[in-house]
Structures are given as C-alpha cells and as structure tokens.
Amino acid sequence: MKSVALAVDEATPSGIAGAIARLINSGDLAPGDRLPTVRELAIDLGVSPATVSHAWQALAGVGLIVSRGRSGTFVRAERTAWLPPRSRGLAEPRHTVARLDLSTGTPDTALLPDIGPALSRVPSHASTANYYDLPVLPELERVLRASWPYPVDTITVVDGAMDAISRTLDLVLRYGDRVVVENPGFPPLFDLLEHYGVERLPVEVDEFGIRPESLAEALKSSPAAIVLQPRTHNPAGVSLSDGRARELSRLIGSMRTADATVVIEDDHSGEISTSDDVSLGSYLPERVVHIRSFSKSHGPDLRIAAVGGPRELIDRLVARRILGPGWTSRMLQTVLHDLLTNDQTVAAVHAARAAYRSRQVALVASLADHGVVMPVPDGINLWLRVEDERNAVVQLAAAGIRVAAGTPFVAGPTPEGGQFVRVTAGLVRDEVDSVGALLASATRA
C-alpha cells in the first residue's frame, strides 16, 4: 500500500481528502484497510490535526471511510447489500453531511402540500368490502383522464413510477431482449434491467429529449422496449419538445418490428414541471404506456402513480396485479383525488412549481457569475459537468455539501468523455451565491 502522506500533493482538507479518495478508487487502499490516525498524518504532513480531521469528515460524508472509535479509521466496506448496486452510492451515509444534502433527488418537504385535511376527509371505514371492485376509483380516473396528455384507452393506478415500469416490463421482456434507455438516465432503471437479464441500448439526449440519430441507431437492434422521461429528465433536467416527439414517433413507427416495441414514458415530476405536457402517445397511442407519478409534487410516501396505455396491455397488468397486491389502497386513492381537486392543494403545488423554477434560475445565475454557464434545467435536479467526479464530490463534502456522483446515472460513454455530478438544486433555499461558488469551484477540482 502506498504511503498515504506521500500521495498528498496539497495539504489542505480537500487536498488530503482527494488524495485518499484516489487511493481508494485505484485499489491502493482496500475496503477494511486501516488509515493513519489524525495525529500521525498531521505530523507526516506538517499540518494541524484539525486540517486532517476536516478531511476525514469529508471522506466519511461521502461514504468512503468509517471511524470505529479507539480501533481507528478504516476504508468502508459495503453495508447496504439489500440495495441494488447503483442505489448504494445514492443512499448513504446522510447523517454525516455537515450542512446541506443536495444528493437526494427528492422534493423539498416544505413545498409539499399539507395532506392532513385530505386524510381527515377519508371515510372512517374501508371504501370497499369486495376484493374484485374496480381497481381505480371512478372519480379519480375521471380526473386523471382530464389531465392526460392524449386520449388513452384505459388507466389504472399502482404503487409508484418504478412499480409501473417494473410491471410493464414484466409483460414485454424476455431474457436477452434489448431495451433503449437514455444516457444519462435513472440508476434504479439500469439496476432493474440487469435484474431482467436484458441488454441496454443507451441513446443520447439533448435539450429537446432523445436525439433522433441516436435512437435511429438503437432501433436497428429491434428493442423490445424504449424507456424515456418526457419531462424534467432525471438527472439532466431537459424535457421533450412536441417537434422531437413527432420525430421520434416517426422513427419508431417506421421500424419493421414497430408493433412489437413498447414505449414506456416515466413522467415522474409532471405536476412540478414548467414544460409542456408532451407524449409520444399523441402519435403512437397503440404502443405507448404513459406513467405519471405524484411523488415529487404531493409526497414520495403516497406511493401512487397512474399508468395508462393500450387496453390489452393495461388489462394484463391489472390481471397480474390481482394475483399479488390486488390493488392500490382505495383510501390512498381517495386522498389523491382530494389532493388533485382541492383548490388549496392545487394552489400549493403551483406555488411549489414556481419556487423550484426560481431556485433553479437563481443557482444557474450564481454559477454563471462564477464562470460556469449552463441552461436552466426543469424540475429539481441540475446535471453539472466537472473535471473529476470523485474530486468534486469530496471537495464539496469538505465544504459541508453532499451531491450525487454522476457515474450511477451513466448508461454508456458520455459526450466528449465528460464527468458529472447531480445536484438537487430544488433544495437550495438560501445561500445561493455561496453554494454556486462552491459548485463552480468543484467543477475544476
């Protein structure tokens, strides 16, 4: 193992943390290896113990090391085997962040509507005594249809967007199939596809959505499914334009095997998006399954998403679900219907949408003031190009800010070989200029 002190080029908290991170990434420091004590390394580097201690805090904040009290400090081994691989780096450890956690990709709880009044209006007794009642409350279905981006055959509700994606893929995939995914894209989707044993076909995205030439190349492999995010793309923050939707639909419709390819649209942040509600279902209704989640707008713990598409496919999804969970709680459906139709709740969601947009605009302006120019993303996330992903994550952790490393979001080679971090800009309520300055500095780390 290399001497830790010899690997440090810059004896500052971020410099020390970056050197340790590189040793861990290269394998020179392995999981379980014991690190020098704070005092030992401080003497070797000729710095104060506080300087090394700050570096140790930054490394602990991004999950690279762990303190075991008198036993010492060690390179962390994997602790969350129950999580899929790409989710592990996004999930831990949050308690060590000193000041601001911008890694979560979750909405600001202060901007979520109050569900207390809706809960108080739920009937005190279960709304059904029949296991085979309709899976969707008729009044909720009417509200969903009125807001759907195109006339759809049928709609049901399931337990969140990933539940909808998983259940749809269950119906259309066989081992060894190919699936088109966006690059960058959503890490849990990549983990799910690995579970199915299928091949990913990464396609590039630009400010209007999937690039047509990239999709055209992928379609040569006759994919069984195409999974895309029509609005507030996570992590890139871009949204599909209507012109791009028409172009992509034309490409898919011209495939020899078009009738065998299902398009799955994950509209996970629709209610807080400032972009137009665009869907390939307007042009290919017989091939599109459109999913709308209410987690970002009304609360992740509601665990409700609507899924609509061709009757034959959705009926199969509902029939299979009857043999498992059966249906999504009609009590929760009643709550969602109340939230979608109550004037105060609707106003609260509109205010949240405006607040997220304002925060994105302010943070992008601050980045520009510090030399990093980029378009304003939609939704709550910002996809920030950096020179070195790990160094950027560690440097920001040293300053008390946690961001998500970009690697789990990448499905293939990135444009020009770039590296990125994902920043949940929607959580930056204040200190915008200081956060922008730190982010800008981290891009050059």
pLDDT in tens, 367-425: 999 999 999 999 999 999 999 998 999 899 888 899 999 999 999 877 666 899 999 99
How big is the CA angle at 177 (ends 174 and 180), to the nearest 5 degrees? Answer: 125
Query: Tens digits of per-residue pLDDT, 2-53?
Result: 478 888 888 888 889 888 888 887 778 888 888 999 999 999 999 999 999 8
Could you tell me what percent of the chain has a pLDDT over 90? 67
> Following CA atoms 101, 193, 161, 63 in sequence, which dihedral angle do they give, to the nearest 10 degrees?
-10
Q: Backbone phi, then psi, for 384, in 5-degree steps?
A: -110, 120
> Following CA atoms 384, 102, 293, 224 in sequence, which dihedral angle do they give, to the nearest 10 degrees?
40
Least confident of 63-77, 292-306, 313-327: 63-77
What the block records as the tokens of 391 is: 């160094």
Q: What is the average per-residue pLDDT within 163-173? A: 96
Distance of CA 437 to the CA centre of its chain: 24
Q: Quick one: which H or E segment has residue 360?
A: helix 343-369
Q: Any idea which fold 85-111+345-443 has?
A: Aspartate Aminotransferase, domain 1 (3.90.1150)
Q: What is the average per-residue pLDDT within 349-359? A: 98
Show the beta-strand stretches assigned E in 195-251: 199-206, 209-210, 225-228
| Statement: residue 250 has pLDDT above 70 | yes
Ordered strands of the 209-210 beta sheet: 154-158, 305-309, 288-293, 262-267, 225-228, 178-183, 199-206, 209-210
Is-contact 204 169, C-beta < 8 A?
no
DSSP 414: P
Question: Please, what is the average pLDDT of the chain?
Answer: 90
Confidence of residue 62 (pLDDT cuts 50, 70, 90): confident
Show the beta-strand stretches assigned E in 128-267: 154-158, 178-183, 199-206, 209-210, 225-228, 262-267
Nearest C-alpha neighbor of 16 from the set 58, 72, 55, 61 = 55
Amino acid, res. 355: A
**What CATH class does 5-75 carry?**
mainly alpha
Q: Quick one: which H or E segment has residue 420?
A: strand 419-423
| Statement: residue 160 has pLDDT above 70 | yes
How many CB atoms lie under 10 A from the CB of residue 89? 18
Do 5-75 and 134-330 agree at the fold level? no
Domain ranges for the chain: 5-75, 85-111+345-443, 134-330
Q: Any idea which fold 134-330 has?
A: Aspartate Aminotransferase; domain 2 (3.40.640)
Region of residue 326 (left: phi > 0; alpha: psi -120 to 50; beta: else): left
DSSP 34: B
Beta-carbon contacts of 104 under 8 Å, excluding residues fewer than 6 positions away, are 90, 94, 404, 424, 427
Q: Given this model, what pLDDT does residue 1 score?
A: 40
Least confident of 210-214, 243-247, 257-261: 257-261
Least confident of 256-265, 393-402, 436-445: 256-265
| Statement: residue 318 has pLDDT above 60 | yes
d(CA 65, CA 74): 6
Beta-carbon contacts of 376 under 8 Å, excluding residues fewer than 6 positions away, are 357, 360, 361, 364
N- to C-terminal Cα distance for the chain? Answer: 25
Confidence of residue 92 (pLDDT cuts 50, 70, 90): low
Nearest C-alpha neighbor of 206 from the set 242, 240, 251 = 240
Query: Tens digits of per-residue pLDDT, 208-243?
Result: 999 999 999 999 999 999 999 999 999 999 999 999
Q: Given this model, what pLDDT does residue 80 score?
A: 56
Nearest C-alpha neighbor of 266 from the set 127, 165, 118 = 165
